[in-house]
Structure 1
């Protein structure tokens, strides 16, 4: 993972999530792009707003964007002092999920900070960004500034989402000295016609020269999220890898609400992929 981007809710200071992303980029000898997204005035306009209000809103948006662009040198200088090899700054206007999905087309990883003070910091909003980005996302908990990669846990249930998360995490897994597969058994497949070949996780990991130990998780779906976090804590994981299940396929968060629970309660960074 050489091209990492991090979404920041401010352009005058960098939160702990941005520090985490910078530390991760430095450890991976990669490039870091800070992204500030300003909401479009069109999304903020009340119906039938008079022309003067619309003009004032657009003028305020232009001023905010100019202020955000002015932070470019400060961001790149700060990141390179931390050890980031190359640092860039990007300002955009629009809805955050769609904007990050667009910029993500030329990045390998998106870092998000779970911060209730930010409009997108609540789990449902974070979940929307993770699902819309169509890329690997690391959600960093509040106050997490360092990105050690020595001990990792993989939440495993055999689903397509879990497979994609595992595949996305390969570059990071090669940095780990200890990897624990939190084995929750194989998730029942969706009802569909035909037959698809099963995924052999043991053979896949061996093929990539990744050695893991297994820790069974025997719990029903309703307690899956809590069980995953408890098991990750027991093994001292510094990063949790798991699939993200969302509204793109189900009427509510699937896997017994595990995605929602982990987004809300995790005290360690979580790499998610849907």
Structure 2
């Protein structure tokens, strides 16, 4: 992870998500890009709006863009105080998931803040983003515990391809941790059209990367999986959860499985997800 992107919903102050992104970037000696995206006036224009109203909206968007562009140095100074040596600043206009998806093509990790009073207030909006960007995504609560990096990381494991991709993406962060706890749920049967023996071993895979794990089993009904997962995260003292974003339908922009929706709505620790 050499290039980390953090979405910023404001360009005057930076809160929990930005703080956590800076913490991770400093720990990994990575570059940190701050991205401020504002909506196009054409998207916000009422169907029967007047030309005068459109003119005002365009002027407001231009003023917003100008103010955001002026924040480049302030962001760089703020990040440097937190140990980040290399920064970039990106201002863009457009529909947020699509625009961030384009910017993500140049980055290894996207960090977004989950705040009930802001854009990512619902699991559905977060799910839209997770499905539209190919980059691993770290969803951070607005308030996170202080620290220099992940100390204990919990891995949600059920054998699904999404879980494999999420854990593989998290390896740089796992190397920073003192403890890595594998939370093993029921293995998900996935038809791939091919069989192989012996079965893939996540423990051996991580060991090849120099990462040892503790293993805990999760025995719970599907409808309680999200609750059980967060209870296990709290019980082992994890300060980061890694899990695949499990979808019931790949053609839906929000219909994730119940465990994913529950975690997106209620996790009190940062969650790294990948679909």
Same fold judged by TM-score > 0.5?
A: yes
The alpha-carbon deviation at position 250 of structure 1 amounts to: 6.3
Aligned residue for 1:61, secondary structure, equals helix
Identify the residue that residue 149 of structure 2 maps to in structure 1. Answer: 148
Between the aligned partners of 1:54 and 1:253, the Cα distance in structure 2 is 35
Identify the residue that residue 239 of structure 2 maps to in structure 1. Answer: 238
Aligned residue for 1:34, secondary structure, equals strand
Identify the residue that residue 204 of structure 2 maps to in structure 1. Answer: 203
CA contact (8 A) 2:72 2:89 kept: yes
CA contact (8 A) 1:238 1:268 kept: yes
Alignment TM-score, normalising by the size of structure 1 = 0.93
* 1:140-198 Cα shifts (integer Å, max 9, x gaps): 112116452221110000001001101101111111121110000311225x6x32445
Aligned residue for 2:57, secondary structure, equals helix
* 1:108-159 Cα shifts (integer Å, max 9, x gaps): 1111111112123322111211221111111111211645222111000000
Between the aligned partners of 1:72 and 1:145, the Cα distance in structure 2 is 27
Count of aligned pairs: 271
Aligned residue for 1:9, secondary structure, equals coil
The alpha-carbon deviation at position 93 of structure 1 amounts to: 0.5
Give the direction of change, closer, same or farther, for the CA distance of 1:215–1:145 in structure 2 (3 Å limit): closer
Identify the residue that residue 89 of structure 2 maps to in structure 1. Answer: 89
Between the aligned partners of 1:167 and 1:124, the Cα distance in structure 2 is 25
Between the aligned partners of 1:224 and 1:216, the Cα distance in structure 2 is 12
Aligned residue for 1:56, secondary structure, equals helix
Identify the residue that residue 269 of structure 1 maps to in structure 2. Answer: 270
Unaligned runs of 5+ in 1: none
* 1:78-124 Cα shifts (integer Å, max 9, x gaps): 11111101112110001111111111111111111111121233221
Identify the residue that residue 164 of structure 2 maps to in structure 1. Answer: 163
Give the direction of change, closer, same or farther, for the CA distance of 1:247–1:106 in structure 2 (3 Å limit): farther
- Cα RMSD, aligned residues only: 1.7
- 1:1-274 to 2 correspondences below 5 Å: 1-144=1-144, 146=146, 148-190=149-191, 194-197=193-196, 198-246=199-247, 249=250, 253-255=255-257, 257-274=258-275
CA contact (8 A) 1:19 1:145 kept: no
CA contact (8 A) 1:16 1:145 kept: no
Please, which moves more after superposition, 99-108 or 141-150? 141-150
Aligned residue for 1:106, secondary structure, equals coil
CA contact (8 A) 2:113 2:120 kept: no
Please, which moves more after superposition, 45-54 or 29-38? 45-54
Aligned residue for 1:149, secondary structure, equals coil
